[in-house]
Amino acid sequence: MAVGKEIRTKIKSVKSTQKITKAMEMVAASKLRRTQQRMEASRPYAEHIRAVVGHLSQANPDYRHPYLEKREVKRVGYIIITTDRGLCGSLNVNEFRAILADLRKWREQGVEADLCIIGAKGVAFFRRLNTNIVAATTHVGEVPRVADLIGAIAAMTEAYTKGQIDRLFLVHNVFVNTMTQRPEIRTLLPVEPVDADSLQKYWDYIYEPSAEELLDTVLNRYIESQVYRAAVENVACEMAAKMVAMKAATENAGKFIDQLQLAYNKARQAAITQEIAEIVGGASAISQ
């Protein structure tokens, strides 16, 4: 019986899609746990170096590092962390929307922006727009390493030191919980003073060997650690968003299959009824 051949083929294809989304969901779930651990592990360093930099911004050295100086904003820079792969719901889209709103705000003030993009999705998106991409890194992978990020970071910090940009922002997704991730735009440079914890008023470090060299090391390390932490967090967000998106896709596929099955059954029943009606009609025609 050739009834509903197309429907049957369709059901089969949706079922195989469902298998794939289910598998992707499970893969994302298991990766999520590991990336979450990595995110947690990177937290202590990022927090402590933040505290050190906070102390540093309260110290009174003779030498002022450019990272600590506030300048009038003529041009801004963004380090944007996105995912390399799609199928993770609205994670990237929400982030892009936040960035575009921010860019528009700057443009109204006559301030242009330089972008440094980490992640293939961001590169693909911003290339289509009329934006100025100065650096890009893709395929950092699920285990970001500082070494892979340094090039992109250095491009932006150099631009800041040279005065090409007067402010540097970091954009990434913040992991609130498995269901919720939200984009965040944070100022990286100039380094904002962290709220004071009871240190006395006028003091300075003893610097070994020199203030200049050490401030440079510490502040660069600080930027690196913040970007690294953001990259790790973004991976965790990606996995969580992917897990949720794939779970929804699997459920939708299930619903779709149910509907198709119903349509198939109806069509089959209609065909049977019609056949019986024909037989009955034929038989009654003969017996008359």
Partner 1 sequence: MAIHVDIVSAEGAIWSGKANMVFAPAREGEVGIAPRHAPLLTDLRPGEVRVQPAEGEERELFFYVTGGILEIQPHLVTVLADSALRAEDLDEAAALEARERARKALEGRAGEVDIEQAQRELVEAEARYRAAQKLKGKRAG
- State the DSSP H helix or E strand holding residue 205, giving kind and residue range, or none if neither: none
Catalytic residue among 76, 88, 116, 246: 88
Closest CA to 264 of 3, 17, 1, 13: 3
| Distance in angstroms (rounded) separating the CA atoms of residues 27 and 57 | 44
Residue 196 engages partner 1 in binding (rule: CB under 8 A):
no
Residue 280 engages partner 1 in binding (rule: CB under 8 A):
no
Question: Cα dist. 285→117, 149, 278, 280, 282 in Å?
Answer: 79, 84, 10, 8, 5
Residues 79-138 binding partner 1 (CB under 8 A) are none
HEC per residue, 104-129: HHHHHCCCEEEEEEECHHHHHHHHHC
The answer to whether the bond into 44 is cis (omega within 30° of 0) is: no
Residue 45 engages partner 1 in binding (rule: CB under 8 A):
yes
Q: What's the half-sphere exposure (Cβ side, CA atoms, 13 Å) at 75?
A: 13
Residue 63 engages partner 1 in binding (rule: CB under 8 A):
no
Residue 207 engages partner 1 in binding (rule: CB under 8 A):
yes
Q: How far is the CB of 249 from partner 1 (least distance, A)?
A: 35
Pick one of 217, 265, 273, 274: the residue that binds partner 1 (CB under 8 A). 217
| Distance in angstroms (rounded) separating the CA atoms of residues 19 and 157 | 46
Residue 48 engages partner 1 in binding (rule: CB under 8 A):
yes
Residue 26 engages partner 1 in binding (rule: CB under 8 A):
no
Closest CA to 233 of 122, 144, 150, 164: 144
Residue 206 engages partner 1 in binding (rule: CB under 8 A):
yes
Pick one of 20, 23, 146, 276: the residue that binds partner 1 (CB under 8 A). 146
**Closer to partner 1 by Cβ: residue 209 or 281:** 209
Pick one of 44, 62, 162, 281: the residue that binds partner 1 (CB under 8 A). 44
Q: How far is the CB of 35 from partner 1 (least distance, A)?
A: 14
Residue 21 engages partner 1 in binding (rule: CB under 8 A):
no
Q: How far is the CB of 44 from partner 1 (least distance, A)?
A: 4
Question: Cα dist. 66→52, 70, 139, 205, 269 in Å?
Answer: 17, 8, 32, 18, 79
**Closer to partner 1 by Cβ: residue 206 or 286:** 206
What would the two tokens of residue 87 be? 């199928």
Residue 208 engages partner 1 in binding (rule: CB under 8 A):
yes
Residue 199 engages partner 1 in binding (rule: CB under 8 A):
yes
What would the two tokens of residue 168 be? 């540097």
| Distance in angstroms (rounded) separating the CA atoms of residues 68 and 62 | 13
What is the CA 123 to chain-centroid distance, rounded?
A: 13
Q: In the annotation, is 116 catalytic? A: no
Pick one of 18, 42, 173, 226: the residue that binds partner 1 (CB under 8 A). 42
**Closer to partner 1 by Cβ: residue 203 or 279:** 203
Helix axes 91-108, 211-287, angle to 10 degrees: 130
Residues 219-238 binding partner 1 (CB under 8 A) are 221, 225, 228
Name the residues that contact partner 1, by CB under 8 A.
40-42, 44-45, 48-49, 51-52, 55-56, 59, 146, 199, 203-209, 214, 217-218, 221, 225, 228
Residues marked active site are found at: 88
